[in-house]
């Protein structure tokens, strides 16, 4: 796991652990907290999912767009 992937994973893991809820923050919210550009975050999330560390589920919420939930495996 790269340093950036570890930052993203740790943030998701800590947020889920503290809140006890699913992780549903937007990429912008994540970027604001861990100070990472959009492309790096996208690559990190994709790698984490591909390597089996997380799973992402996206569902439509009607006219309001989509909601994504990230789960730790």
Q: Any idea where the domains of the chain sit in the sequence?
A: 3-72
pLDDT at 2: 96
pLDDT at 63: 77
Please give the radius of gyration of the chain, using alpha carbons only, rounded to the nearest integer. 12
State whether CATH 3.40.50.1980 applies to domain 3-72: no
Q: Are 11 and 23 in contact (CB under 8 A)?
A: no
Q: pLDDT (tens digit, 0 to 9) for every residue of the chain, 73 residues total?
A: 999 999 999 999 999 999 888 898 889 999 999 999 999 999 999 999 999 999 999 888 877 778 889 999 8
pTM, entire model: 0.86
pLDDT at 71: 92
pLDDT at 55: 94
């Amino acid at each position: 796991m790269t340093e950036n992937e570890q930052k993203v994973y740790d943030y998701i893991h800590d947020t889920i652990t503290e809140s006890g809820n699913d992780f549903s923050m937007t990429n912008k919210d994540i970027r604001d907290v861990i100070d990472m550009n959009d492309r790096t975050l996208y690559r990190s999330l994709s790698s984490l999912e591909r390597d089996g560390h997380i799973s992402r589920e996206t569902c439509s919420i009607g006219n309001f767009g989509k909601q994504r939930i990230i789960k730790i495996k």
